[in-house]
A and B are shown apart, each in its own frame.
Chain A
Amino acid sequence: MKIGIPRTLTYYAYLPLWETFFRETGCEVVISDETSKGILDKGVEYAVNDACIPIKLFHGHVYNLKDRADFILVPRLINFTREKSVTYCPKFLGLTDMIRASIPDLPPLIDFRIDLREKRRSKHREFERMGNMLGISPYRIHRAFDKAKKMLYSYRKQIAAKKTPEQALKMLLDCPHVPEAPRRPITLAAVGYPYLLYDSFVNAGMMSKLHKMGIRVLTPEMVPEKLLAKKAKRLPKNLFWTFSNQVVRGAIYYIDDGNIDGIIHVTAFGCGPDSMVGKLIELEAKQRAVPYICISLDEHTGEAGVLTRLEAFVDMLKYRRNKS
């Protein structure tokens, strides 16, 4: 049995969990190809035109898996953290229904719904339901779930040790990777959702460009969860979305920490939650006099444009450092 997993959205945050679970239950895992122009074009074709690029890309990745998998995993994460008052972006919540309504002739979707706010349907129950759907025995489900959980924890440990997701995935699961970045003086915090930061197609190779310029890049995932949680108090009211809270808290952590030269907010054109997130980070950075730049991505984003903006920003940072 082949299970398709789209290489986007929750991929960078939860792949070890999905992949290990399916592998351990004897399924074959097919991951969609790396993001490319072809995938993007299919996404643009099938997704509603007002959606942001990550949602369009998700449609493209699902399309990419259409004829290669017996089932496609479309995780519907509602609440997957200890905080009770948050969910994911509404577009994530309705994603399965959007996919179902937009792309014809799909193999069955695994509608994996996690809402830890409901006590009766814990994580474990949801994995059981998913296993039953695939006809796997309860014992194997249980064992695979345990292994998957452990794998997710070790993945997070790797990231907290300042590894990029690609490096960590390669180490743990043999996934494709990028070369390790050299460590040099100028340090930037790049904050944004994992599906934008780590997908080198959609961000026009931003990370490797920064690495090539000899810049050390820090991301919110590299901050240990406990320290992130502490920063929640800095805002009068939590944001409603898990990834957004992570980004804002990560940004505040690095700004408070004071060991960065500047902060880059990476966002998608028309991203709803980011209109709030961006302004919060901007105001916070302004107060602490930390240089801030926002890079907004869409299907027309070109490498040259991103590079020019990054170079100008980095030049400014170097100038600023020399001056002080």
Chain B
Amino acid sequence: MRITFPHMGSSWIAFKMLIEKLGHKPVMPLRPSEKTLSLGSHYAPEFACIPFKILLGTYLESLERGAEMIITSGGMGPCRAGYYGVLHEKILRDMGYNVDFVVLEPPQKRAVDFLRKLGKITSGKSLPAVWEALSTTWQKLRVLDQIEELSYETRPRETNKNETTRVMERCYEIIDGAWTKEDIRISRAKCGELLKAIPLDKSIKPLKVGIIGEIYVVLEPAVNFDIQRLLGDMGVLAHRSIYLADWTKDNTFFKGEEHIKQAARPYLNELVGGHGTLSVGNTVLYSKNGYDGVIQLAPFTCIPEIVSKSILNRVSKDLDIPVLTLFIDEQTGKAGIKTRLEAFIDLMYSRRKYRQEAVI
């Protein structure tokens, strides 16, 4: 069967391998472009958030290229993204596409449903083979996260501009080529070395910025104008608070977010869905860890992030940490984002200078 899935950062490298290992043919989702977005916006409800529109556009593009089954994730609310699968399917059916639409709900809430759907995808494979495919995919996702994290530390200090980006392209190729657990381990070491070999200017002490917000906009460079790279090129170390592997872990059987929720408690003692509570908690943690500022990324009309934005004003004042909120929709332009980032960076630099002078 020809299977496709949503595009989210570099995770396609792992999912491509998973689908091939399960004996299907992947229809690779294209990196979201302006065409994807306008296609999605055309058929999506006006006030759906940008992830909904991008995903719908991506599905339509993949269907044109011969996909027969779409696999995506579900959710149990209160963020509306958990309902996107249902509505996407209804819209595609209304448009006349007869596609197999598989929405994987969180296994701890809908165990039977999850196993049934998993069975549908993995039919004809032995249990050990399925387990091998799943666990290597997991390993690959983690390696991708780790390598990307390294690259964000390197970029602001590189001596030759753009070298990190070039090396990362090579890294993605290496990881894409690794198929067994051993290979993936080796590829991780190789990529680590490649990144370490980049000449750095050690005298630079880059500004440190934390990135919080809604997961899709934070993870998909095509939507957030590759903000981490953009910041890196402007000499800022951008640390992001969400990684796909961690998030999947926290939202299935393991609970790893408790300390973040704890940090949010004085300001927001309620789970408001999506990453709303975590955005507040992470801002508190970033300020405690001496970061110079926080950037909140979210789609326009995102419900949980509107709640946290409203509260972040207070957090920012109380803990004395600047917060820049960027709501992104189909009208947002790169130049606008860049100007706002430049202004924000100027502000953080002058704050740092002012503080140093105050100490002396």
Contacts and interface: CB of A to CB of B under 8 A. Distances in A.
Interface string A275-298: 110111001001000000000000
Contacts of B212: none
A274 B46 CA distance: 10
A117 B86 CA distance: 25
B317 to A, nearest CB: 9
A278 B303 contact: no
Interface string B290-319: 000000000011111011111101100000
B48 A275 contact: yes
Nearest to A111: B269
Interface in A7-58: 47-48, 50-51, 55
B243 interface: no
A139 to B, nearest CB: 31
Interface residues of B, number: 43
Contacts of A48: 306, 309-310, 313
A201 interface: no
Interface in A113-133: none
A50 B313 CA distance: 13
A86 interface: yes
Interface stretch (B73-81, B115-123, B132-140): B73-81
A239 B303 contact: no
B268 interface: yes
Interface string B72-109: 00101111101100110011001000000000000000
Given A89-B303, A97-B268, A240 B78 contact: yes
A73 interface: no
Nearest to A85: B76
A274 B307 contact: no
A76 B274 CA distance: 18
Contacts of B311: 94, 97-98, 101
B129 interface: no
Nearest to A87: B78
Contacts of B302: 272
Contact of A98 (B94, B300, B310): B310
A235 B87 CA distance: 10
Given A101-B313, A236-B86, A273-B303, A94 B276 contact: yes
B273 A276 contact: no
A86 B273 CA distance: 12
A280 B80 CA distance: 13
B39 interface: no
A44 B313 CA distance: 16
11 contacts: A78-B270, A90-B78, A90-B273, A90-B274, A93-B270, A94-B268, A97-B311, A102-B310, A240-B273, A272-B303, A279-B87
